[in-house]
Structure 1
Amino acid sequence: MTWRFALVIEPAASDDPRSDFADTFRVIDPSAPALTVGELSTQRGDGVFESIGVVNAHPQEVTAHLDRLAHSAELCDLPIPHARQWRQAVVAAAQHCPPDGEGVIKLILSRGVEHGPAPTAWVTAAQAADNTATRERGIRVVTLDRGYGIETPANAPWLLLGAKTLSYAVNMAAIREARRQGADDAIFVSSDGFVLEAPTASLILRLGDRFVTPAPNGGILHGTTQLSLFEHLASQGHETAYETIPVDALARADAAWLVSSVRLAAPVVAIDGREVPLDREVTASFNRYLLSPRD
């Protein structure tokens, strides 16, 4: 991934009435050092982020991503990002994404510098990796125990399991473990036997004529791509549902997908070595929709 653009955002008050926040942005060299030694995002992973997919220089689902960034910030006791300010930063970053093809804009909000300025925030833009083969051929996944029961997040909210935090070491370790097992990705399951999500994606199953995703409890991050896709499916007359899904339901799936903002819809072709049917027509329709401009 080649970084093309980066800017630092100075904090704006939540009630700031300005319509133009350009004077709160500072463009920096994306290839040059920018963070101080005391920055808590790197020392402790103490911050939140979002990754916005960009198609032909159009940032996708900006409102949903900004809403989720604000939700994550609230869960982490961080200042709530000023929505209009951050939206303007997204627009500025999108101008540096490929005019044709796909990119990614990252929004990062950190607790800041220990005993220093806080918070710190920045936005970056880059060209996205080519996910064409993944979308067409599919991926193989394994299930991995996430190490807690489905009720744990409700009983221990300080674990921040519903926030999109910068502490992604466990997520990356899960993907490495999946690859050690000969797969491409993983699906987290709870210790008491329920399906959760993938390390960097939401899971959608087709069970008969229904499209089902795990209910957004159990520490699941509510996926912006999954939400948009479910709205699209409902508008096409399909039945969609959020359910508490037992692990054994994976064996009954007629099709499955991992969906995310940049990879879009990746069909799952095997779970724990068991083949899953690849529905090329539905997958292609998913990705046609996800590649269309969406606000």
Structure 2
Amino acid sequence: MTWRFALVLEPAASDDLRDDFAPTFREIDPAAPALSVGELSTQRGDGIFESIGVVNGHAQEVVPHLERLAHSASLCDLPAPNLAQWRQAVAAAAAHCPPEGEGVIKLILSRGVEHGPAPTAWVTAAQAPDNSVPRERGVRVVTLDRGYAIDTPARAPWLLLGAKTLSYAVNMAAIREAKRRGADDAVFVTSDGFVLEAPTASLVLRVGGRFVTPAPNAGILHGTTQLSLFAHLEELGLETAYETIPVSALTEADAAWLLSSVRLAAPISAIDGAELAVDRALTASFNEYLLSPRD
């Protein structure tokens, strides 16, 4: 990934109603050191983030991403982000993304320097990796036990299972394990046999003409791309649903996809070694929609 731009924010109070937040931004060299050695984002992964896809210079689904950033901040007891300030920061970053093709903007809000007075916040822009192969050919996945039951998030909210935190070591380890097993990606499942999500993506199944995703009440991060695709499908008169899905339903699905803001819709071609049909025409239509300008 080629980094093109970075800026640091002085986080504004959520009730700051100014029109111009440019004085709170400081552009920095994306290749130069920028964080203190006492920064809790690097010491403990104590912070949250969002990744926003950019298509031909247009940042996609900005409002849903900012709303999810605010939701994660609330779950993590971080100061509520000023969404107008962050929206202006996204616009500044989008101006440095490729004018043609795809990019990615990352928003990071950390608890800050250890014993410090304020959180740390920054935004980066980069050229997105080439995702044409997984979009066209699909991905092979394996199921991996997430290590908790489906009711754990309700019983233990301090685990922050519904927040998009910087603590992604488990997610990255899951992808490495999937590759050790000869797959491209993983799908997390609960210890009592229900489907969750992928380490960096939402899961959507097509079952008998219906499009289904795991209900986001089991610590699942509610995907902005999945929400947008479901709205699109509903406009087309197709049925969508959120359900508690047993692991056995995976290989019984007519088709399945992983959805994320940058990779977009990647069809699943195999689950735990069992081949799954890939609907190339439908996948192409999904990605055509997801690559169109979306606010």
Same fold by TM-score greater than 0.5:
yes
- Between the aligned partners of 2:13 and 2:157, the Cα distance in structure 1 is 27
Partner of 2:282: 282
- Between the aligned partners of 1:197 and 1:17, the Cα distance in structure 2 is 37
Partner of 1:196: 196
Partner of 1:52: 52
- Between the aligned partners of 2:13 and 2:133, the Cα distance in structure 1 is 44
Does structure 1 residue 166 correspond to structure 2 residue 158? Answer: no
- Between the aligned partners of 1:156 and 1:118, the Cα distance in structure 2 is 27
% identity of equivalent residues: 81
Does structure 1 residue 270 correspond to structure 2 residue 270? Answer: yes
How much has 1:45 moved relative to structure 2? Answer: 0.0
How much has 1:98 moved relative to structure 2? Answer: 0.2
Does structure 1 residue 222 correspond to structure 2 residue 194? Answer: no
Partner of 1:144: 144
Distance 1:33 1:117, change over 3 A: farther
Deviations 1:105-152 (A, max 9, x none): 000000000122420000000000000111000000000000000000
- Between the aligned partners of 1:97 and 1:256, the Cα distance in structure 2 is 31
After the TM superposition, which of the residue ranges 54-63 and 110-119 deviates more from structure 2? Answer: 110-119
Which TM-score applies when normalising by structure 1?
1.00
Partner of 1:183: 183
Residue 220 of structure 1 aligns to a residue whose secondary structure is coil
- Between the aligned partners of 1:176 and 1:132, the Cα distance in structure 2 is 21
Partner of 2:211: 211
Checking the alignment, whether the CA contact within 8 Å between 2:13 and 2:80 is kept in structure 1 is no
How much has 1:87 moved relative to structure 2? Answer: 0.1
- Between the aligned partners of 1:11 and 1:289, the Cα distance in structure 2 is 34
Checking the alignment, whether the CA contact within 8 Å between 2:197 and 2:203 is kept in structure 1 is yes
How much has 1:218 moved relative to structure 2? Answer: 1.1
How much has 1:157 moved relative to structure 2? Answer: 0.2
How much has 1:39 moved relative to structure 2? Answer: 0.1
Residue 251 of structure 1 aligns to a residue whose secondary structure is coil
- Between the aligned partners of 2:86 and 2:52, the Cα distance in structure 1 is 12
Residue 250 of structure 2 aligns to a residue whose secondary structure is helix
- Between the aligned partners of 1:220 and 1:16, the Cα distance in structure 2 is 31
- Between the aligned partners of 1:64 and 1:16, the Cα distance in structure 2 is 21
Partner of 2:18: 18
Q: How does 1:31-180 map to 2 (within 5 A)?
A: 31-180=31-180
How much has 1:81 moved relative to structure 2? Answer: 0.6
2:133 maps to amino acid: A
How much has 1:83 moved relative to structure 2? Answer: 0.5
- Between the aligned partners of 1:14 and 1:140, the Cα distance in structure 2 is 43
Q: How many residues align?
A: 295
Moved over 2 A (4+): none
- Between the aligned partners of 1:251 and 1:114, the Cα distance in structure 2 is 47
- Between the aligned partners of 1:118 and 1:205, the Cα distance in structure 2 is 43
Deviations 1:152-205 (A, max 9, x none): 000000000000000000000000000000000000000000000000000000
Which TM-score applies when normalising by structure 2?
1.00
Checking the alignment, whether the CA contact within 8 Å between 2:4 and 2:96 is kept in structure 1 is yes
- Between the aligned partners of 2:139 and 2:146, the Cα distance in structure 1 is 20
RMSD between superposed Cα atoms in Å: 0.5
After the TM superposition, which of the residue ranges 57-66 and 110-119 deviates more from structure 2? Answer: 110-119
